[in-house]
Amino acid sequence: MSIERHIRIRNKKSSCYSLQNMLKCLEDPEHPSLGPFLRYINLTGNWHPNMELKSTRFKQVVFYITMTFFFTQYLKCVIGLSLSALLFILKTLPFHMGTPKSIYFRKDHHLWQKLIDYMSRTELRQLSDEDEEVIDVMDEYIRKGRRVIYLFWVMVICCNISLFTEPYTKKQPLFHFYLPFNQEVPPGYYYSMVLQTILGNIMSSYVISWDSLVMPMFIFFAGQLKISRVYCTKVIDPESKERTHQNIIKCHRFHMTLIEHQKLLQKLISSVMFIYLIAVSINIGASIIEISNASSDLPSLTAAMLFVFGVLVQLLIFYWFSNEVTVESLSVSSGIFESKWITMDAKTLKEVALLQLTTSKRLCFNAGPCNEMSLSTFIAIIKTSYSFFTLLKETHQ
Q: What pLDDT sits at residue 219?
A: 96
Query: CA-CA distance, 318 to 97, in Å (whole number)?
Result: 15
- Asked if the model's pLDDT at residue 10 lies above 60, the reply is no
Residue 255 falls inside a structural domain: yes
- Asked if the model's pLDDT at residue 271 lies above 60, the reply is yes
| pLDDT tens digits along 17-27 | 455 565 667 78
What value does the mean pLDDT of the chain take? 83
Q: Three-class SS of residue 371?
A: strand
CB 154 within 8 A of CB 308: no
Q: What pLDDT sits at residue 221?
A: 97
Q: Is the peptide bond before 187 cis (omega within 30 degrees of 0)?
A: yes
Strand partners, 367: 371
Range(s) of the domain holding residue 309:
3-65+93-169+204-396
Can you tell me the mean pLDDT for 134-139?
94
Residue 213 falls inside a structural domain: yes
Query: CA-CA distance, 212 to 206, in Å (whole number)?
Result: 10
Query: Nearest CA to 203 among 169, 177, 171?
Result: 177
Q: What pLDDT sits at residue 295?
A: 63
CB 174 within 8 A of CB 193: yes
- The lowest-confidence range among 137-141, 243-247, 308-312 is 308-312
Strand partners, 372: 366
Query: Nearest CA to 312 among 334, 284, 292, 337?
Result: 284
The residue among 304 and 126 whose pLDDT is bigger is: 126
Cα pseudo-dihedral 183, 186, 192, 198, rounded to 10? 160
Q: What pLDDT sits at residue 220?
A: 97
Query: CA-CA distance, 240 to 102, in Å (whole number)?
Result: 52
CB 359 within 8 A of CB 333: yes
Confidence class of residue 319 from pLDDT cuts 50, 70 and 90?
Answer: very high
Query: CA-CA distance, 257 to 90, in Å (whole number)?
Result: 41
Can you tell me the mean pLDDT for 34-61?
86
- Asked if the model's pLDDT at residue 304 lies above 80, the reply is no
Residue 208 falls inside a structural domain: yes
Q: What pLDDT sits at residue 20?
A: 55
Strand ranges inside 229-324, DSSP E? none
| pLDDT tens digits along 191-226 | 888 888 888 889 989 999 999 999 999 999 999 999
Query: CA-CA distance, 6 to 12, in Å (whole number)?
Result: 10
Query: CA-CA distance, 191 to 149, in Å (whole number)?
Result: 34
Query: CA-CA distance, 300 to 276, in Å (whole number)?
Result: 24
The residue among 24 and 120 whose pLDDT is bigger is: 120
- Asked if the model's pLDDT at residue 8 lies above 60, the reply is no
Q: What pLDDT sits at residue 394?
A: 65
Residue 220 falls inside a structural domain: yes
Residue 346 falls inside a structural domain: yes
Q: What pLDDT sits at residue 119?
A: 96
What's the alpha-carbon Rg for the chain, to the nearest Å? 24
Query: Nearest CA to 373 among 220, 218, 223?
Result: 218
Residue 266 falls inside a structural domain: yes
Residue 291 falls inside a structural domain: yes
Residue 70 falls inside a structural domain: no
C-alpha torsion sign, points 166, 69, 84, 285: positive
- The lowest-confidence range among 33-47, 178-192, 349-363 is 178-192
- Counted residue by residue, the chain has a size of 397
Give the chain's domain count.
1
| pLDDT tens digits along 375-390 | 998 888 887 777 766 7
- Asked if the model's pLDDT at residue 397 lies above 60, the reply is no
Confidence class of residue 284 from pLDDT cuts 50, 70 and 90?
Answer: confident
